């Protein structure tokens, strides 16, 4: 199984500052036929289901503010929030959807400093 | 609009059974691979099972193999999860999730609100 390891487990950032969350996969999640990494990022607010933010590691889902961005380097993936807003307080999860079983990172709790 | 609504959760004793349902609307259910994902209290997300659009292929996480069965009725636009021999560690909110087929293909682009399953004596 592909193991997804997120860091940090929790993060406190001041409003307007940058937040960075990392996710590392234990093996490649790259489809060489289309050069796409099968890596998604989700935002989950308390009492709500996860919401898709980013797919193909770096493509924003419809309606997601452009302060959210994803990047990739081999098996290392990063979610960046360029200027933290109060409504961004949530738990963020990465997911690899290249292989079954699909596997999630353990989640990163983002709070306001 | 696209909607997934889970039902069937509740409190059940260890060793007993429960069947969850997920009613889909607003899209062509029969075109999509569907998944169940769970989240134990205060914990992260865990993928549980998947079923192909025609129902012919099914996959499970090791911890539920032989105890849980995923199925679907495309005529009723409904996904199911039959959970037998339940254990305390199955206590979680269970979400159904749709796998996208065009934009965001293969990622989980729509989730239900979840249904809570509590396994307790």
Q: Annotate B72-108 with DSSP letters as a single string.
A: EETTTTEEEEEE-S--GGG-EEEEEEEEPSBTBTTSE
Q: Per this entry, what is the length of chain A?
A: 113
Residues of B in contact with A49 (CB under 8 A): 95, 111-114
Other beta carbons less than 10 A from residue B101's beta carbon: 15
Is residue A90 within 8 A of residue A44, CB to CB? The reply is yes
Who contacts A32 (Cβ-Cβ below 8 Å, separation ≥6)? none
Report residue A54's pLDDT band, with 50, 70 and 90 as the boundaries. Answer: very high
Q: What is the pLDDT of residue B103?
A: 82
Q: Do A61 and B104 touch (CB under 8 A)?
A: yes
What pLDDT, on a 0 to 100 scale, did the predictor assign at position B105?
86
Give the minimum alpha-carbon distance from B109 to chain A in angstroms, rounded to a whole number: 6
Q: What is the Cα–Cα distance from B48 to B94, expressed in whole angstroms?
A: 9
Tell me whether B113 touches chain A (CB under 8 Å): yes
Task: List CB contacts (< 8 A) between B109 and chain A.
Answer: 52, 55, 61
Percent of chain A whose predicted confidence (pLDDT) is above 70? 100
Q: Which of B1, B40, B44, B97 to mutate to test the interface with A (most CBs of A within 10 A)?
A: B44
Nearest CB to A49; choose among B60, B103, B112: B112
Q: SS3 for B16?
A: coil
Q: What is the pLDDT along chain B (121 residues), one digit of tens a residue?
A: 999 999 999 999 999 999 999 999 999 999 999 999 999 999 999 999 999 999 999 999 999 999 999 999 999 999 999 999 999 999 999 999 999 988 888 899 999 999 999 999 9
Count of CB atoms situated within 10 Å of the CB of B16: 12
What does DSSP say about strands A59-60 and A10-13: parallel, antiparallel, or unpaired?
Answer: unpaired
Interface touch A95/B114, C-beta < 8 Å = no
């Amino acid at each position: 199984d592909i193991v997804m390891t997120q860091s940090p487990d929790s993060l406190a950032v001041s409003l307007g500052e940058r937040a960075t969350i990392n996710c590392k996969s234990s093996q490649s999640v790259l489809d060489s036929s289309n050069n796409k990494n099968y890596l998604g990022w989700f935002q989950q607010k308390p009492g709500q289901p996860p919401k898709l933010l980013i797919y193909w590691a770096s493509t924003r889902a419809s309606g997601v503010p452009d302060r959210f961005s994803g990047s990739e380097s081999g098996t290392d993936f990063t979610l960046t929030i360029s200027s933290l807003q109060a409504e961004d307080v949530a738990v963020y999860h990465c997911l690899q959807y290249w292989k079954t079983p699909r596997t999630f990172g353990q989640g990163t709790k983002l709070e306001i400093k | 609009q696209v909607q997934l609504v889970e039902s069937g959760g509740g409190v059940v004793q260890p060793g007993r059974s429960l069947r969850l349902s997920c009613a889909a609307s607003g899209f062509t259910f029969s075109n999509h691979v569907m998944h169940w994902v769970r989240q134990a209290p205060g914990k992260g997300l865990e993928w549980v099972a998947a079923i192909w659009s025609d129902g012919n292929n099914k996959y499970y996480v090791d911890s539920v193999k032989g105890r849980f069965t995923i199925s679907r009725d495309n005529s009723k636009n409904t996904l199911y999860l039959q959970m037998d021999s339940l254990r305390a560690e199955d206590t979680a909110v269970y979400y159904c999730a749709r796998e996208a087929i065009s934009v965001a293909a293969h990622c989980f682009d729509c989730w239900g609100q979840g249904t809570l399953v509590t396994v307790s004596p």
